[in-house]
Amino acid sequence: MTAYGPTSAEGARAPGPGSRTPLLGLRVDVDTHEGMKSGVPRLLDVLREANIKGTFYLSMGPDNAGKAIFNAFRRPGFLSKMRRTKAARVYGLRTILSGTLLPARMIATAFPEIARRIPAEGHEVGVHAWDHRRWQDRLESFSEGQVARELARAYEAFAEIFGEPPRTFAAPAWFANDASLSFQENLGLDYASDCRGEEPFEPIIGGSPLATPQVPTTLPTLDEALGDTHADARSFFGSMVGAAWRARWPVLTVHAELEGGPYAEPLRWFLQQAADHEIRVVPLKELLAARRAAAAPLPQRTMGYGTVPGRHGKVSMPVAG
Ligand SMILES: [Zn+2]
């Protein structure tokens, strides 16, 4: 068996008071119609078996995922990455064509009953997007009004399904801007997960701190790692056990289309490994609560952009200054 785990990392942790149990925040992103329809139910089953709760972020509106794949044809190295990640098999042709040659299908709004299973089974649920693809492609050219409309539409759809407004939001592709952060601030969310980073923090935009804290994704995702740092899902998840131990407030993001699809078994194995290494996997709100219970206040960090290995384009993250 691979040697990884707590032995050398134990001293590096900062667990909550009264507990030596390391935490791992689990975030599930739902980006496509197919991910909502079959990935979410499978993930709910996997998590129930493992007796684990996580935080699900739902794309509410149209699935234009196909546009991403068509756009990606313009980038060098795309075909080899597609082959390594088995994109056609993973996403299926209907998803690849959705919003391109075939009409876009709706995501969470098409499956309100599946959506309601998420909180009914004890998980946290929040908003990921109205139109994930449109946000990723056009956020930079959106007016403040367009940003507000995209968010408001998603929040309304969420409230219609769940009978109450969302308490948390995660920007599509970890891509936020001052307008989206300001709009969220007005809604008084408990927290958001809009960026990559190292630990929960209070964001500063335009020189002013916001009251809505960020709980960033801290670990790499499977799709970033495959064909880049890891040859297969098992070796990726094996390394994540050690990475979760070494990080102070680790958050792992999985995708309904991947870990709820062809990579469900590697995820199941990872959750067992996490349990064997006494890592407690929790929803993000629980990770934030534990962080707040720790001695020091949340750091304040200026929001900016950067890149992460294996992912095309820039993502939001705290920057110096
Ligand atoms: Zn997403």
Q: Which pLDDT tens digit goes with each residue over 31-58? A: 999 999 999 999 999 999 999 999 999 9
What is the CA(130)–ligand 1 centre distance, in A? Answer: 11
Q: What pLDDT, on a 0 to 100 scale, did the predictor assign at position 312?
A: 86
Find the 31 Cα to ligand 1 centroid distance in Å.
Answer: 5
Q: What's the burial of 103, exposed, middle or buried (CB within 10 Å: 0-12/13-18/19+)?
A: exposed
The pLDDT tens digits of the residues spanning 87-128 come to 666 677 677 666 666 778 999 999 999 999 999 999 999 999
For helices 40-50 and 264-276, give the axis angle rounded to 10 degrees: 20
Please count the helices (runs of H) and the strands (runs of E) in the chain. 13, 13
What local confidence, expressed as pLDDT, does residue 20 receive?
52
Place of tokens 């075939």: 102
Q: How far is the CA of 172 from the centre of ligand 1 (A)?
A: 5
Residue 174 and residue 132 in contact, taking contact as beta carbons nearer than 8 Å? no
Planar angle of CA 232, 233, 236, nearest 5 degrees? 95
Greater confidence (73 vs 221) lies with 221
Please compute the mean of the pLDDT values over residues 249-255 and round it to a whole number.
Answer: 97
Residue type, 310: G
Tokens 């060098």 — which residue? 76
State the distance from the centre of ligand 1 to the C-alpha of 4, rounded, in angstroms.
Answer: 29
Task: Report whether pLDDT(5) > 50.
Answer: no
User: Which pLDDT band holds residue 73 (cuts at 50, 70, 90)?
Assistant: low
> Across 163-249, where does the E strand assignment appear?
168-169, 191-192, 202-205, 208-209
